[in-house]
């Protein structure tokens, strides 16, 4: 398919994106989103498998009997954010917003699905995954349990594709060479002291004071540690105390550790444990560090797919294509690492900053330049075609 032929889909991809943006739905509540996607795809002849409660796996009969199968993921869920963009197509659902670009991902995936349904001789079979609950980390497990990567012959798909839209740079495309994400773990710090009235302070152990020292150590270690790659440790919430005249007996802090390399993650965790032991010795409080869930592991782009993506990106975006090294990793993670554990994968980032509106992910004013949508569809199409 020639570049100029993609232009006929520009109006449709924008229309789809704006519809999804106006009607966002939270994780595991994407019922209307899922119904619209199913209706759209069935009109194109796609066969649909349901992944309860809202996930979809879609394949077109015209792409059967291909030597290779590739899988494209599109996330469906929005965020509990009150939109403040002022856009004419802003969210109509109070306290809910597509503030991570999933609306654009859905629109682009559906547009690509339409193109492939009309192109009967596409050389590789493409399976579309419409994944729920990505924002709460539950979608990938559900999709894999439903056979998202499974082939009829008992093997696994030959490639997994995922893509995001980022708003820190103007129109372009970026692909990491090698590792493409960080290791992330939620951490909980429980500080236990002993209650007492403040008039008898010597009988108590001040958990708030000990927690303040612990929070300070998290900040200090995060900034002082020098490792192999980017990293950060931080506290997101802190809760403790009941009354102003009572020494608090317990404080709970929740945060995370993010590191591009597992060795850095382990070293930071070790340093925190040692620092907390020192605080225990100084204050008499207990400072317990725990990780309630297994960490999100990093994943790496396949070298062959990366090379194809680089050629495609340079052709479509010219000097606005970036092939980034592991020293330029962004401290984000994704449960999509589970897909990468089963097959080779490629993660593309399409750059879509609106001048003067370069807001980060999950911000109430997050928005993307819609001019990126069609070139991103073209890039995915070409990478898949060449991979065949």
- Residue where the block lists tokens 């199409």: 381
- Residue where the block lists tokens 């599109």: 74
- Report the pLDDT value the prediction gives residue 22, as an integer from 0 to 100: 98
pLDDT level of residue 328 (50, 70, 90 thresholds): confident
Beta bridge mates, 84? none
As a whole-number percent, the residues of the chain with pLDDT over 70 amount to 99
Confidence check: pLDDT of 2 > 80: no
Domains of the chain: 3-180+298-387 (3.40.630.10), 183-290 (3.30.70.360)
pLDDT level of residue 327 (50, 70, 90 thresholds): low
- Report the pLDDT value the prediction gives residue 212, as an integer from 0 to 100: 98
- Report the pLDDT value the prediction gives residue 193, as an integer from 0 to 100: 97
**Residue 279: C-alpha distances to residues 19, 189, 215, 221, 254 (Å):** 53, 13, 11, 14, 18
- Residue where the block lists tokens 């008499």: 284
- Report the pLDDT value the prediction gives residue 277, as an integer from 0 to 100: 98
CA distance 77 to 99: 10
- Report the pLDDT value the prediction gives residue 104, as an integer from 0 to 100: 98
CA distance 36 to 359: 29
Mean of pLDDT over the chain: 95
Compute how many other C-beta atoms are within 10 angstroms of the C-beta atom of residue 280: 17
């Amino acid at each position: 398919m020639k570049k100029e032929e993609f232009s006929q889909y520009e109006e449709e991809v924008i229309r789809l994106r704006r519809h999804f943006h106006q009607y966002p739905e939270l994780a595991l509540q994407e019922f209307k989103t899922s119904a619209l996607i199913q209706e759209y795809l069935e009109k194109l002849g796609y066969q649909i498998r349901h992944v309860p409660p809202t996930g979809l796996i879609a394949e077109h009969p015209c792409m059967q009997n291909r030597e290779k199968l590739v899988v494209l993921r599109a996330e469906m869920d929005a965020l509990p954010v009150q939109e403040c963009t002022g856009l004419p197509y802003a969210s109509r659902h109070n306290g809910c917003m597509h503030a991570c670009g999933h609306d654009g991902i859905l629109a682009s995936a559906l547009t690509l699905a339409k193109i492939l349904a009309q192109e009967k001789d596409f050389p590789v079979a493409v399976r579309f995954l419409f994944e729920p609950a990505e924002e709460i980390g539950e979608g990938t497990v559900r999709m894999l349990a439903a056979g998202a990567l499974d082939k009829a012959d008992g093997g696994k798909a030959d490639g997994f594709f995922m893509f995001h839209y980022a708003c820190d740079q103007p129109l372009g495309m970026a692909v990491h060479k090698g590792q493409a994400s960080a290791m992330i773990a939620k951490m909980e710090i429980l500080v236990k002291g002993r209650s007492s009235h403040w008039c008898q302070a010597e009988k108590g152990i001040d958990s708030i004071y000990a927690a303040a020292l612990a929070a300070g150590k998290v900040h200090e270690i995060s900034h002082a540690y020098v490792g192999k790659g980017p990293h950060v440790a931080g506290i997101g919430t802190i809760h403790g105390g009941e009354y102003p005249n009572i020494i608090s007996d317990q404080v709970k802090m929740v945060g995370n550790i993010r590191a591009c390399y597992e060795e850095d993650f382990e070293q930071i965790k070790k340093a925190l444990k040692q620092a907390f032991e020192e605080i225990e010795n100084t204050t008499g409080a207990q400072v317990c560090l725990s990780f309630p869930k297994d960490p999100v592991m990093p994943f790496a782009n396949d070298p062959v797919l990366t090379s194809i993506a680089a050629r495609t990106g340079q052709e479509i975006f010219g000097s606005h294509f970036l092939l980034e090294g592991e020293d330029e990793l962004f401290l984000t993670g994704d449960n999509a690492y589970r897909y990468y554990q089963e097959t080779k994968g490629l993660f593309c980032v399409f750059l879509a900053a609106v001048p003067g509106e370069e807001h980060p992910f999950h911000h109430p004013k997050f928005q993307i330049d819609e001019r990126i949508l069609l070139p991103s569809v073209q890039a995915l199409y070409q990478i898949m075609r060449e991979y065949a």
